[in-house]
């Protein structure tokens, strides 16, 4: 009924014909009837997001897919993405990038040994920020001991949320468009961040 009201409010001013309002409304009802039946049938279905899967698979319950530019940018987007991945992982979101420590030491200090090197213009980050969980951008580190599984578009169906790391160049990229389409197909919510 709300949809009908919206349609009516939107379409009525654009009508050029001199139809009687009642006739017009009846036609509109006929038009939206298929939509109503779709809505009813969808309500009878189980949740179609991957949440059904996720409930049985704790690995996917907090899986966040990151869509970002793999092509050459004016600056190194990968560093910013790695920084974002680190924060997400530190806050118990899964990005598919597994950072394993050779020393098998779970202390925060040891985490500093495998942090990605951040190339930043300024060091205005406060390392005491709670969400950083020990992240210190001033430390120069290597990623050579990381064990990483690179996520691809095929993983989008398993994620709970997709974060699109937009840059002006990536916004125009076919890769970005494809991943947004997949996200739409699998009905995944999207968060957009600007890098």
Minimum gap (Å) between residue 113 Cβ and another protein: 22
Contact yes or no for 62/160 (Cβ under 8 A): yes
Q: Work out how close the CB of 6 gets to another protein at its nearest, in angstroms, rounded to a whole number.
A: 25
Smallest gap, in angstroms, from Cβ of residue 2 to another protein? 24
Interactions with another protein, residue window 97-126 (CB under 8 A): 120-126
Cβ-contact 100, 147 below 8 angstroms: yes
Of residues 30 and 122, the one with the C-beta less far from another protein: 122
Residue 95 neighbours by CB under 8 Å, 6+ apart: 63, 64, 65, 66, 85, 88, 89, 151
CB under 8 A: which stretch of 1-9, 21-29, 30-38, 76-84 binds another protein? 76-84
From its phi and psi, is residue 49 left (phi > 0), alpha (psi between -120 and 50) or beta?
beta
DSSP character string of 162-190: EEEEE-HHHHT-HHHHHHHHHHHHTT--E
Report how many residues bind another protein under the rule CB under 8 A. 30
Q: Which stretch binds another protein (CB under 8 A): 35-43, 57-65, 106-114, 142-150?
A: 57-65
| Contact with another protein (CB under 8 A) among 93, 133, 134, 148 | 93
Q: Give the list of residues 6+ apart from residue 126 with CB closer than 8 angstroms, or none.
A: none
78 scored as a contact of another protein (CB under 8 A)? no
For residue 124, the minimal CB distance to another protein (Å) is 5
For residues 65 and 156, give the distance between their C-alpha atoms in angstroms, rounded to a whole number.
6
Q: Residues interacting with another protein, by CB under 8 A?
A: 61-62, 64, 80, 83-84, 87-88, 91, 93, 120-126, 129, 131, 137, 160-161, 163, 166, 189, 191-195
């Amino acid at each position: 009924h709300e949809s009908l009201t919206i349609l009516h409010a939107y379409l009525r001013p654009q009508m050029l014909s001199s139809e009687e309002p009642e006739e017009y409304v009846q036609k509109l009802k006929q038009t939206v009837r298929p939509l109503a039946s779709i809505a009813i049938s969808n309500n009878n279905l189980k949740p179609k997001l991957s949440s059904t899967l996720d409930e049985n698979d704790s690995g996917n319950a907090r899986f966040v897919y990151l869509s970002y530019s793999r092509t050459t940018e004016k600056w190194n987007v990968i560093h910013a993405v790695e920084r974002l991945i680190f924060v997400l992982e530190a806050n118990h979101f899964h990005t598919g990038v597994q950072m394993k420590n050779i020393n098998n030491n779970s202390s925060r200090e040891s985490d500093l040994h495998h942090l990605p090197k951040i190339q930043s213009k300024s060091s205005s980050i406060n390392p005491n920020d709670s969400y950083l969980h020990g992240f210190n951008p001033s430390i120069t580190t290597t990623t050579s001991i990381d064990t990483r599984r690179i996520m691809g578009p095929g993983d989008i169906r398993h994620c709970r949320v997709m974060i699109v790391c937009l840059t002006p160049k990536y916004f125009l990229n076919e890769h970005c468009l494809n991943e947004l389409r997949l996200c739409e197909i699998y009905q995944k919510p999207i968060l957009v961040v600007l890098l």
